[in-house]
Amino acid sequence: MEDVIELLKENNQPVPVPLELPDDDDLVEIEEEILISLPDEYKYFLMEVSDVVYGSLEPATVMDPQAHTYLPDMAAYAWDIGMPREYIPICNHEDGFYCITQEGEILFWSRSSEAVEDEWPSIWNWAKDVWLES
């Protein structure tokens, strides 16, 4: 996990307005807004690397309600188009969403097939295998 965090931070691309990292209180507000608990590993991910801009993927963020990556808006849309409510989207991608389960597994849910197509054991595996390769 620490090596993935380091790689993400090293590869962070400069942007005119850098993203902010959330704290515990910010994440409680997000949980209240989406009416579902965030897995602990995902909370850590958001507090450590949700400010990273890298590659072609744009993972969900929680600090700017105007951002197109704002988690509550992303979740509302994903659930509205049929993604099961027990999944929390972490990243919109082409025909679906990468999402996290309450157990911390990452899945790719396809909009066209309304099924899970790929799985990773943790958000750190996903970050290394998918995000850092994008």
Cα 43 from Cα 5, distance rounded (Å): 14
Q: What is the reported pTM?
A: 0.95
Strands 115-120 and 88-93: unpaired
Cα 127 from Cα 91, distance rounded (Å): 11
Cα 101 from Cα 65, distance rounded (Å): 23
Task: Find the CATH number of the domain harbouring 24.
Answer: 3.40.1580.10
The residue segments making up the domain with residue 103 are: 2-12+19-131
Q: Mean pLDDT of all residues in the chain?
A: 96
Q: If pLDDT is split at 50, 70 and 90, which confidence band does 87 have? A: very high
Average pLDDT, integer, range 76-102: 96
Cα 100 from Cα 2, distance rounded (Å): 20
> What is the side-by-side order of every strand in the sheet holding 106-110?
88-93, 96-100, 106-110, 115-120
Interacting residues of 44 by C-beta distance below 8 A, sequence separation 6+: none
Total domains present in the chain: 1
